[in-house]
Amino acid sequence: MLGPLNVNLEDFDVSVKNGFLPSQPPLQQLADPYYGAWEDIVGNLPVLIRTQTIRAAVDELPLLSTSKLQSEREWQRAYLLLSLLAHAYIWGGKTPSERLPAAVSVPFLIVADRFDLPTTATYAGLNLWNWKTTSPTGSLDLDHLETLHTFTGTQDESWFFLVSVAMEAKGGEVIPVMLKAMDAVRTDSPQVVAESLHKFAKVIGEISVLLERMYEKCAPQVFYHQIRPFLAGSKNMAVAGLPNGVFYEEGDGKGEWRQYSGGSNAQSSLIQLFDLILGVEHSPTRNTKVAAVGPKAKHGFLTEMRRYMPGGHNKFLAHMESIVNIRPYVLNHPAPEVTEAYNHAVNELSAFRDVHIQIVTRYVLNPARQKRQPEEMTTSAGAGLNLAVASSNSDGKKGLQGTGGTELLPFLKQGRDETRATALE
């Protein structure tokens, strides 16, 4: 009989209570007035974008040092602020900017390096570190959450981010449960394994319900034409006007061309953890442009997305990958209740991916096929050329890219089918 795994979640910056969300709510402002220039622009971001004055405002920023950032929450907020400034600058004009001024890129490179994150707007910045709760008990229920910042100032964008935050909070509940299940495998306790898998399935079902609530306060046309362009990265974005990526200036004529994927739910450590727990294996889609080698090459784009997760979370997934034992146990265990519980969880995860495909169809594919209305041309920032405009100029069916830079619908359908195939007879 094997002993417990003794996984200490805090070693990986994972919260026992909130999962991949921080244990404490993110800071709402950097207290040191030294960073007031960052705070002022981000606090007025929707107006600056709407009036097309965001680049002029950023160009006047002083180059600030990161030496006055102290706590982890301050560093997280700095990452959020600089992410917003970077993407607002790149996408907030008639055409995308191929350069990012040193006042943003220099501190951004330092702050991002602290978290092993790239200098782009990631899921971590826009979702994990961009919320507050209005609940007197600190509840992270969707109806008690608010975003700290958005690009557009719309309720739609806020709701889009908050649905993911609520999903992360709910999903975090299963991390201790499934660690317990993995210990139960080591002690050959099938009843505990089965009970844990049923709890796991229940939470995935609840997450699907949360995702379906996207329709309540986020309109597809607003998302597609006004919000989505600001989530785009600089990798595989020639169609949207960035054939070389973005040049990150570092002063004195120095700098570097960089290409990054944009914000994507594939950067959610929680969703990738679900796959690891159940042993779902994904292969690269035919369009994935990821040079992956070694034992993880089969994961393709998803492995690439781990580079867009905070370093601790990335290491947690790698550690879980090395010790996960649920599927082998189910394969080799004769108890039908264990197989039934496992298939229950697989079916719920497959159903979640069906909901995701429905959301993407309604919020991305359908708007891409529809003729854009004149009023949308004037309300969308950066209406000259961005991901929405470029995608709408395509046929809307073949080759439509996600903000992460991958071909959207084939990637999602393949992931759903590979999940279904994991179920056992």
Cβ distance 151 to 49 under 8 Å?
yes
How far apart are the C-alpha atoms of 396 and 209, rounded to whole Å? 28
DSSP string, 207-271: HHHHHHTHHHH--HHHIIIIIHHHH--SSSBGGGTBTT-EEEEEETTEEEEE------GGG-HHH
**Cβ neighbours for 147, distance < 8 A, ≥ 6 positions apart:** 130, 131, 132, 157, 158, 161, 162
How far apart are the C-alpha atoms of 335 and 337, rounded to whole Å? 6
Task: Flag whether 356 is marked binding.
Answer: yes
Kind and range of the H or E element at 156? helix 155-171
Cβ distance 180 to 168 under 8 Å?
no
Cβ distance 4 to 186 under 8 Å?
yes
Residue whose entry in the numeric block shows the structure tokens 């709760």:
133
Sheet holding 99-100, edge to edge: 99-100, 246-251, 254-258
Residues annotated in the binding site, as ranges?
356
Residues annotated in the binding site for heme b, as ranges?
356
